[in-house]
Amino acid sequence: MSSAETMPPVPGAIWSALPVPAFLSVARDGHETILDCNPAAELFMSTSKAHLKNDPTFDRLSIDAPMEEAMARARLNRAPIFINDADVCTGERPPVVCNLQIAPMNDENETLLLLIAPRDIAGRLGLTRSVKAVAKSAIGMAEMLAHEIKNPLAGIAGAAQLLSMGLKPADRELTDLIVAETRRIVKLLDQVEQFGDQRPPDRKPTNIHDVLERARRSAVVGFGAHMRINDDYDPSLPDALADPDQLLQVFLNLIKNASEVQPDGGTIRIRTYFERGLQVQGFDGRRIALPLHIEIIDDGPGLPAAIADNVFEPFVSGRENGTGLGLALVTKIIAAHEGWIEVTSRQEQTVFRVSLPMSSTLPATDVRKTDHIKEPR
């Protein structure tokens, strides 16, 4: 066996290969300071090591746990400390539930190793699989029923219209109600059939902002005329690999949802930005980076607690007359694009975030060579 085969990997290679964010922290002037971080930490923080080094650790990381006390105990006892289910926030992004490990490096500077293991991706992947399973079971039955019901409904609506022709205006209320209700049901059945469409999207390089502008203009002159719709676009965003017509449907649905929860008016903010870090497993098993992010943000009442965890499932709706298929269709389209959708909601702010692949994929680990990386805002 050659010497090259028996040599262990160098420490720098191990450090770079760690799959979770890792930081080296040292106490300076009574405050924890970042000495170093690995590439996974750069992804997690959405910035480079050069911008993180020598910054106060907990100015960059907001952690809902007594971290100063935990780090002092790790140094004093020369033993690792584990903290589970802590909320970790970086910049404007919502908190991420993480498991933390703090361990002394046994050097004269009393350096500590801080490992952060986010739990949100695994949980959201489980939710997506659950949604797909529910969707498949619902699609088969709903599609069959939709086809069988639409023809008789057309006959009922036609008969009601004929009946109304021989009635006095005061007596037409019931026939008008029949026609209106049959049209509503036919519209619902059209949505069911659309939800069951299994054709793959026609993906090609697509300018996200062109699609968003089409959706915004449609909303302003239609269902969202009572809302203020502002845009916050990153002009340097590269093209997505997407079907523009299907994406238009996604954004129209999300903007319409935000408009309908505020019948008396409010503000919708459409934000785009570039951020490496999120990866999913593609249809062929390879890992796909999703650096293009689109957020639809409203200042409404937030999602009802009863449906917050199941909002993407078919036939789940927070509105009295909602079909519960709009967000399920959005989820289906984004999944077909090998993308990701998630929602965070609280009183006076709901954020739907869509993440998509670029039309040309950059190396997943080459973050520092990407010009689009931004500082946390």
Predicted local distance difference test score (pLDDT) of residue 238: 93
**Residue 145: which residues within 8 A CB-CB, separation 6 or more?**
189, 192
Are 193 and 210 contained in the same domain? no
Are 124 and 10 contained in the same domain? no
CA dist 325 and 331 (Å) reads 10
Predicted local distance difference test score (pLDDT) of residue 207: 95
- pLDDT tens by residue, the chain, 377 residues: 444 444 444 456 778 778 788 999 998 888 899 989 988 888 788 777 888 888 888 888 888 888 888 898 888 888 889 988 888 888 766 778 888 999 998 776 688 999 998 875 545 555 555 555 555 565 666 666 666 676 777 778 788 888 888 777 777 788 888 888 887 777 777 766 666 666 788 899 999 999 999 999 999 988 899 999 999 999 999 999 999 998 998 999 899 989 988 888 899 999 999 987 777 777 777 778 889 999 999 998 888 877 777 777 766 666 655 566 778 888 888 988 989 888 888 888 899 999 999 987 544 433 323 333 233 33
Are 236 and 373 contained in the same domain? yes
Q: Of the residues 148, 163, 198, which one is the last residue of a structural domain?
A: 198
Are 28 and 129 contained in the same domain? no
∠ CA 231-236-242, nearest 5°, is 80
Structural domains counted in the chain: 3
Are 164 and 246 contained in the same domain? no
CA dist 162 and 164 (Å) reads 5
Predicted local distance difference test score (pLDDT) of residue 6: 43
Are 240 and 362 contained in the same domain? yes
CATH, residue 248: 3.30.565.10
Reduced to 3 states (helix: H, G, I; strand: E, B; else coil), residue 365 is coil
Q: Of the residues 198, 227, 253, which one is the last residue of a structural domain?
A: 198
Are 281 and 227 contained in the same domain? yes
- Domain containing 107 equals 3-118
Predicted local distance difference test score (pLDDT) of residue 90: 81
Are 28 and 85 contained in the same domain? yes
| Cβ-count burial 208-235 (b if 16+ within 10 Å, e if not) | bbebbebbbebbeeeebeebebeeeebe
Are 345 and 253 contained in the same domain? yes
Name the pTM for this structure. Answer: 0.55
On whether the CB atoms of residues 359 and 341 are closer than 8 A, the answer is no
Are 100 and 182 contained in the same domain? no
Q: What is the 3-state secondary structure (H, E, C) of 49-61?
A: HHHHCCCEHHHHC
Tokens of residue 177, six digits:
């109600």
CATH, residue 58: 3.30.450.20
Q: Of the residues 94, 118, 142, which one is the last residue of a structural domain?
A: 118
Q: What is the pLDDT of residues 58-112, one digit of tens each?
A: 888 888 888 888 898 888 888 889 988 888 888 766 778 888 999 998 776 688 9
Are 216 and 125 contained in the same domain? no
Are 137 and 106 contained in the same domain? no
